[in-house]
């Protein structure tokens, strides 16, 4: 008869302790004590100490009781007044962007990046060209530019990029990730000419008075190029992913998402995992166009368990674009012109409704969880219609579908989400980074209702929250801060009525994130029997003044009981 796991034995002894208060010889691997412990478990909201064995929480309670599980070899961690919370669960980001942020030019504006002008953007591109020794013909890549925040209120032109980089193709990706400016060499590389038609759901900017492309490509005009963009591959990509995961760990993230995965990225991440190089769990969402390749022509299915900290957890479908890029699809016009100067512009769906219907049906028929990018209310209408179609009528079956972003959702759509079992993964960090832009583009009333966390929770929904890295910086503490405060760059309040409490904001990136992946029974709170995925914070987000939450630091990240990142440790990336 095989021996029971040690964690089971320790847990059994812990149960005996709770009943008899008798000291038994069942030492835990680690005990954490000495500061506030926020469990995110409503049955036991706080505790004085936590015991861990074999990567699992085996006791949560008073220090006196938990310390009875200490033995000679038990590691005792004293918080020193700092706060312990559950490990953060990423509601949506792009894990493979770790390669981009280490090899491309950061062209974002403060506080996310250094660029305040067109000249700054060109200088950042020149620096990465020099640093990576990119000779003639090699692509120079940058990401994160936001024309609204540059002094000139515009992006670098194709001509300016041509003059600065006469021998290199250049791709400068918009802050939304949904489009880019290309110089002439890059346009020629991908065959974009005056004769190239603008595809449905796409944008090709044209020179004034002609059909010549001016370098601006968005959505379906950019998507095929985006999937082919050259970059590190093979051993270099694996090295960058291995070292770059500290970007996630230093933000307290113990479960991450790769939110639109191409087949070659799936293969690389599986190699990384098989080498034992992942320190955190990563959930892959293959992009809908890649599922035949990823699943070898079989129906798309979730992988039920992690293999070396990696699993496929669903499929990603794109319904529309970006509100800050003015490509999100709305039922009413933007107050400003479209990205190529279009008037009375409402944005467009990424694909026709009939195509979206078949995409969703293919995912549902296979049994995979559907994760849908949808920002504008017309795109959310499209999701609801595709969900109804793929369910064979008014849907009664709850499939665990996730509406990624769902930023400009209407109240009637929120009610359908609740009735039809669709969970939003909101994006409150937009209140700060793009709140002022949304007011200008969509008006105050609609902007105030972006990512309506409070209204969704009032209906009984449990939305998660996310950064969409690398659209916004990885910063889980700032995600909490924006959900609680909803203040823009300019200091304006964006939807005061949708503010939530610090505990609710913490739940959105812990237990509600875990539920998003069907993992709420083993992650997301500090409870007996759950994985010991934990984060040590410099202060308690539930008790500091709300306006100061953003000043809290992640001090230590613990994955299954073991420290995987600690502030001040050599190579911590700070």
Classify 20 as helix, strand or coil: helix
Question: How many other CB atoms are there within 10 angstroms of residue 104's CB atom?
Answer: 25
pTM of the model: 0.92
Topology adopted by domain 1-81+526-574: Urease, subunit C; domain 1 (2.30.40)
Residues of the chain with CATH 3.10.310.70: 97-226
Compute CA distances 436 → 57, 428, 492, whole Å.
44, 13, 8
Q: How far apart are CA 339 and CA 341, in angstroms?
A: 6
On whether the CB atoms of residues 47 and 39 are closer than 8 A, the answer is yes
Token pair of 174, please? Answer: 């918009």
Look at residues 9, 24, 16, 15 and name the one whose alpha carbon lies nearest to residue 69. Answer: 24
**Alpha carbons within 13 A on the beta-carbon side of 396:** 0
Compute CA distances 412 → 37, 409, 417, 456, whole Å.
38, 8, 9, 11
At residue 318, φ and ψ (nearest 5 deg) are -105, 125
Look at residues 424, 549, 374 and name the one whose alpha carbon lies nearest to residue 479. Answer: 549
Identify the sign of the CA torsion 465, 338, 442, 403: negative
Residues of the chain with CATH 2.30.40.10: 1-81+526-574
Cα end-to-end distance, the chain, whole Å = 49
- Looking at 3.10.310.70, 3.40.1410.10, 1.10.10.10, 2.60.120.260, the CATH number of the domain 97-226 comes to 3.10.310.70
Provide the edge-to-edge strand list for the sheet that holds 402-405.
315-318, 370-374, 402-405, 423-426, 464-465
Close Cβ partners of 19 (under 8 Å, ≥ 6 residues apart): none
What pLDDT tens digit does each residue of the chain (574 aa) get?
Answer: 344 454 444 554 444 444 323 333 479 999 999 999 999 999 999 999 999 999 999 999 999 999 999 999 999 999 999 999 999 999 999 999 999 999 999 999 999 999 999 999 999 999 999 999 999 999 999 999 999 999 999 999 999 999 999 999 999 999 999 999 999 999 999 999 999 999 999 999 999 999 999 999 999 999 888 878 888 888 999 999 999 999 999 999 999 999 999 999 999 999 999 999 999 999 999 999 999 999 999 999 999 999 999 999 999 999 999 999 999 999 999 999 999 999 999 999 999 999 999 999 999 999 999 999 999 999 999 999 999 999 988 786 778 999 999 999 999 999 999 999 999 999 999 999 999 999 999 999 999 999 999 999 999 999 999 999 999 999 999 999 999 999 999 999 999 999 999 999 999 999 999 999 999 999 999 999 999 999 999 999 999 999 999 999 999 999 999 999 999 874 454 3
**What does the DSSP 8-state code read for residue 196?**
P
Summarize pLDDT for 355-373 with one digit per residue, the tens: 999 999 999 999 999 999 9
């Amino acid at each position: 008869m095989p021996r029971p796991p040690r964690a089971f034995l320790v847990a059994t002894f812990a149960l005996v302790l709770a009943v008899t208060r008798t000291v038994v010889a069942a030492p835990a691997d680690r005990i954490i004590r000495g500061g506030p412990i926020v469990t995110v478990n409503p049955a036991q909201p706080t505790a004085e100490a936590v015991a861990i064995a074999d990567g699992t929480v085996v006791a949560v309670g008073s220090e006196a009781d938990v310390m009875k599980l200490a033995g000679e070899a038990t590691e005792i961690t004293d918080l020193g007044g700092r706060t312990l919370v559950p490990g953060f669960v990423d509601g949506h980001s792009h894990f493979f962007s770790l390669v981009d942020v280490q090899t491309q030019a950061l062209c974002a504006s403060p506080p996310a990046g250094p660029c305040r002008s067109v000249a700054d953007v060109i200088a950042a591109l020149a620096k990465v060209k020099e640093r990576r020794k990119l000779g003639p013909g090699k692509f120079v890549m940058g990401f994160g530019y936001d024309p609204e925040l540059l002094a000139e209120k515009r992006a670098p032109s194709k001509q300016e990029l041509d003059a600065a980089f006469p021998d290199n193709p250049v791709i400068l990706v918009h802050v939304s990730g949904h489009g880019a400016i290309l110089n002439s060499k890059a346009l020629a590389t991908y065959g974009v000419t005056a004769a190239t038609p603008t595809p449905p759901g796409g944008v090709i900017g044209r020179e004034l008075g002609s059909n010549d492309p001016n370098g601006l490509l968005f959505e379906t005009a950019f998507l095929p190029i985006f999937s082919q963009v050259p970059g590190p591959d093979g051993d270099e990509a694996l090295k960058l992913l291995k070292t770059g995961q500290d970007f996630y760990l230093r933000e307290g993230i113990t479960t991450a998402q790769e939110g639109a995965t191409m087949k070659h990225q799936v293969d690389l991440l599986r190699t990384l995992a098989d080498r034992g190089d992942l320190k955190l769990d990563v959930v892959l969402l293959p992009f809908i166009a890649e599922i035949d390749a990823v699943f070898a022509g079989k129906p798309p299915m979730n992988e039920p368990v992690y293999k070396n900290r990696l699993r496929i957890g669903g499929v990603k479908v794109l319904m529309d674009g970006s509100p800050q890029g003015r490509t999100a699809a709305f039922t009413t016009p933007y107050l400003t012109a479209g990205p190529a100067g279009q008037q009375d512009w409402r944005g467009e769906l990424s694909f026709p409704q009939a195509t979206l219907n078949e995409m969703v049906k293919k995912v549902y028929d296979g049994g995979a969880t559907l994760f849908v990018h949808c920002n504008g209310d017309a795109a959310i209408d499209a999701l609801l219609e595709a969900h109804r179609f793929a369910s064979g009528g008014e849907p009664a079956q709850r499939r665990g579908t996730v509406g990624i972003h769902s930023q400009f959702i209407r109240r009637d759509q929120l009610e359908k989400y609740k009735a039809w079992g669709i969970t939003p993964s909101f994006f409150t960090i937009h209140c700060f980074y793009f709140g002022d832009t949304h007011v200008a583009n969509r008006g105050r009333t609609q902007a105030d209702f972006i990512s309506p966390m409070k209204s969704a929770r009032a209906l009984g929904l449990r939305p998660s929250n996310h950064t969409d890295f690398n659209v916004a910086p990885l910063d889980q503490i700032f995600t909490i801060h924006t959900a609680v405060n909803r203040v823009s760059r300019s200091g304006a309040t964006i939807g005061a009525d949708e503010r939530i409490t610090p505990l609710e904001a913490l739940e959105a990136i812990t237990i509600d994130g875990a539920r998003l992946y069907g993992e709420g029974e083993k992650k997301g709170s500090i409870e007996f029997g759950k994985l010991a995925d934990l984060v040590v914070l410099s202060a308690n987000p539930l008790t500091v003044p709300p306006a100061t939450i953003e000043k809290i630091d992640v001090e230590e990240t613990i994955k299954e009981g073991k420290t995987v990142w600690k502030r001040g440790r050599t190579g911590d990336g700070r």
